[in-house]
A and B are shown apart, each in its own frame.
Chain A
Amino acid sequence: MARREEAQADRIAGRLTRRQLIELEACTRCGECQVWCPVFLQDKRECISARGKLSLLQRLVNDGLPDTELQDFLQGLYECSACGQCHVVCPVRINTHELWEQTRESLVSAGIPRPETQTKQLLTIKRANNAFDKPQQDRGLWAKKAWEAGLLKAPVPLWREQPSSVLYFAGCTASFDPEMQSVAVQTARLLQEAGVEFSILGDEEPCCAGKLRRMGDLEFKAEAEKRISLFAEKGIKEIVVSCAGCFKGLHSDYAALWPGAKKVRHLTQFIDRLIQDGKLRLKHAVPLTVTYHDPCHLGRHNQIYDPPRRILQAIPGLKLVEMPRHRAFSSCCGMGGGLKLVNPGIQHSMAGVRIREAESVGATAVVTPCQTCYMGLQYGVEETASSMQVYHLNEMLIRSVCPEVSCGEISARFQHLQTT
């Protein structure tokens, strides 16, 4: 190996852990990862499967790779939703999704660039503090608008004005994406219905920076530490997040840096507890047969399988049916790991597969507590021209607790506010 390639291989290896380097050689090459991989189902090249990537990465860190194989490896690495299915089925239990994220970081540190679309999004996140390139002062506007539109029982207090025991961390998508602001509004309303005292950071709320980790940005740690300092400075003890991606970021990615990560809860965990404690009452029937889509960031990555199911089962009139692939074997919709940015076509097909699976069990709707999966599954509906409905879990809850804050109502009232 030439000296330059050797130095590059050492730089890549140096950013992986010893365990990860051993894992590269521990692969039995059984191919179990391949038969479960939702991306491989769409692109049947060996370099797409975990087995192929492990083999190429092993050669890359030891001997270097010829250019054509390096390109194959990069394609496999970035055309991966890092869903973690391969980790769950691996007989050796190689912690693949963590390895892919770490490898992305390693490659960038060794001067091998990531796809341009991902780089662009990362730059936007770091510059604007959100992936939507929206001004930071608009971040808390959803709460103001919701109050003005009569969708909330009381105004949502800002932490700087009224700190409370719980911080609701809405995240970039629910704060800025007009299609998804209903998630933030409904979360706030549900918490109010249950009598939870909470505040939001408003324009002080940062992006969780989880996407930086997903795409292997070298500044992830520094950015995470900034957020951790902010939480410490504000005296925040407990955080509730409605976004599965933010939960993965704040709860899992920060765990190595911040003991407080253990106090970050996903909304489904929080609501489940409120229902069990009798604080949130599900009054109205929701006569639907639904199936539940486990988001990778909640399920496989954080073992949150039961709380959302318990919530759905507690809704009167709602019937929950499981898809063949559920819980730890839930098929990814393709929205994670930056895959959508690199190859939207594959994401659409993956989501299409999931929609077909939902149809196969007789469900009329797919419910998910992740807004990213929600959007991803919508692409699947388009792809398959299906009549399947896709709902965020909040919508099911709201229809049972206070139907006047349904998505349709929020959208109509926001529109009305805008015109007046």
Chain B
Amino acid sequence: MQLMVDYPKPWLLFGVATVISLGYMGYAFILKWRAWNRGAEETRRAEGGRGRATWIWLAEVLLQRQLFVLSPGRWLMHILIFYGFAGLLFLSLLASVLRPLALLGLDRGLSSFFFQGEGHLFIKLWGDAFGLALLAGLVAALFRRLFFRSVQLDNSQADVILLVSLLWLALTGFALEALRVALVPVWQARYSFFAQLFVSPGAYTYNQLQPWLTALWSLHAFSVLGLMLYLPHSKLMHSLLAPVVIAMNALGEQDREDIYWPDVKKHRPTGSPGA
């Protein structure tokens, strides 16, 4: 049984745009790499303690420990955005990798499992969960910035552009999912547990919705490429660089006898004076 709702997509145009976006991103990162390489070597190199530095990295990056202790509310908001975004990115990458592999006959049947088979329901379930997490985190972030603004938030243009862009991606993604749910039977729609709340499963025919599906897919997909172009110039760079810096500092700190050395438990932050 074919579980995936298939409709025409401008693959050629999207493929060209993807190559251009990736090329631009690559170019921007090469420029950044060159700019960082103007810097000097570290004078002190950390030796040993890599195991403990790894634990610190896992706690700070994957669990975002520091943020949790400073403000559990902000932690929840950030962790929802972080894992929502990372999860959706993973699912998108899965599809992006499997498609060309399937064309080359190297996917070992994975693409038919994930696109046509039961794996598709798994993707929809997790896609909805990650999307919902992202949306909840973004809405909370917007509320925090607009209505419960704490003293340290400066709401710069870059903050607003990024939040609105991510929200736009989340909303177009859900709208697309809602259209798809409107075509499938109830048992399938249940896997999109959040999107199904907004539409009646199977209420429309393929012919009725196909142009909308194509248009909305294009809007969503090209918006993703737009974000990729913007990423090197946005504050989203922190999502790539913060883990790098935390890793570098976690290694270096032991030599500097800094924050987490020698005793991490004694240097826990207290609640933030901000909000």
Which residues of A line the B interface, CB within 8 A?
A: 10, 13-23, 25-32, 34-36, 46, 51, 61-62, 87-95, 252, 255-256, 302-303, 305-306, 327-329
A14 contacts B40, CB within 8 Å?
yes
In the complex, A32→B74 CA distance in Å? 11
27 residue pairs from A and B, CB less than 8 Å apart: A14-B38, A14-B39, A16-B40, A18-B36, A19-B245, A19-B248, A19-B249, A22-B36, A25-B237, A26-B237, A26-B241, A26-B245, A30-B74, A31-B151, A31-B274, A35-B152, A87-B258, A88-B267, A89-B70, A91-B67, A92-B242, A94-B249, A95-B249, A252-B256, A256-B44, A303-B261, A329-B269
For A303, what are the chain B residues with a Cβ–Cβ distance below 8 Å?
257-258, 261-263, 267
In the complex, A302→B267 CA distance in Å? 12
In the complex, A256→B46 CA distance in Å? 11
Q: How far is the CB of A149 from chain B (nearest CB, A)?
A: 39
* Interface segment, one of B101-109, B114-122, B153-161, B194-202: B153-161
For A21, what are the chain B residues with a Cβ–Cβ distance below 8 Å?
35-36, 38-39
A256 contacts B43, CB within 8 Å?
yes
Q: How far is the CB of A295 from chain B (nearest CB, A)?
A: 16
By secondary structure, the A interface counts as helix
For B250, what are the chain A residues with a Cβ–Cβ distance below 8 Å?
93
- B205 sits at the interface (CB 8 A): no
**Interface positions of B from 255 to 275, Cβ below 8 Å from A:** 255-259, 261-263, 266-267, 269-270, 272-274
For B153, what are the chain A residues with a Cβ–Cβ distance below 8 Å?
31
For B259, what are the chain A residues with a Cβ–Cβ distance below 8 Å?
87-88, 93, 328
- B42 sits at the interface (CB 8 A): yes
A93 contacts B66, CB within 8 Å?
yes
A10 contacts B273, CB within 8 Å?
no
Q: How far is the CB of B245 from chain A (nearest CB, A)?
A: 4
Q: How far is the CB of A56 from chain B (nearest CB, A)?
A: 13
The residue in chain B whose Cβ has the minimal distance to the Cβ of A325 is B270
In the complex, A34→B237 CA distance in Å? 21
Using A18-B39, A22-B248 as known contacts, list a sample of 11 further A-B pairs with CB atoms less than 8 Å apart, ordered by residue number in A. A19-B39, A26-B242, A29-B158, A31-B151, A34-B274, A35-B152, A61-B38, A88-B259, A91-B242, A256-B44, A329-B269
A92 contacts B40, CB within 8 Å?
no
Contact partner of A20 (CB less than 8 A), chosen from B39, B242, B244, is: B39
For A61, what are the chain B residues with a Cβ–Cβ distance below 8 Å?
35, 38
Q: How far is the CB of B30 from chain A (nearest CB, A)?
A: 14
For A17, what are the chain B residues with a Cβ–Cβ distance below 8 Å?
39-43
Given known A-B contacts A17-B39, A32-B70, A46 and B256 have beta carbons under 8 A apart: no
From B35, B60, B151, name the one whose CB has the most chain A CB atoms within 10 angstroms: B35
For B258, what are the chain A residues with a Cβ–Cβ distance below 8 Å?
87, 95, 303
In the complex, A338→B26 CA distance in Å? 42
For A327, what are the chain B residues with a Cβ–Cβ distance below 8 Å?
266-267
In the complex, A115→B158 CA distance in Å? 33
- B252 sits at the interface (CB 8 A): yes
From A34, A88, A89, A306, name the one whose CB has the most chain B CB atoms within 10 angstroms: A89
For A89, what are the chain B residues with a Cβ–Cβ distance below 8 Å?
66, 70, 269, 272
Contact partner of B241 (CB less than 8 A), chosen from A13, A25, A34, is: A25
For A328, what are the chain B residues with a Cβ–Cβ distance below 8 Å?
259, 267, 269
- B9 sits at the interface (CB 8 A): no
Q: How far is the CB of B243 from chain A (nearest CB, A)?
A: 9
- B37 sits at the interface (CB 8 A): yes
For B246, what are the chain A residues with a Cβ–Cβ distance below 8 Å?
92-93
A22 contacts B44, CB within 8 Å?
no
A31 contacts B244, CB within 8 Å?
no
The residue in chain B whose Cβ has the minimal distance to the Cβ of A49 is B152
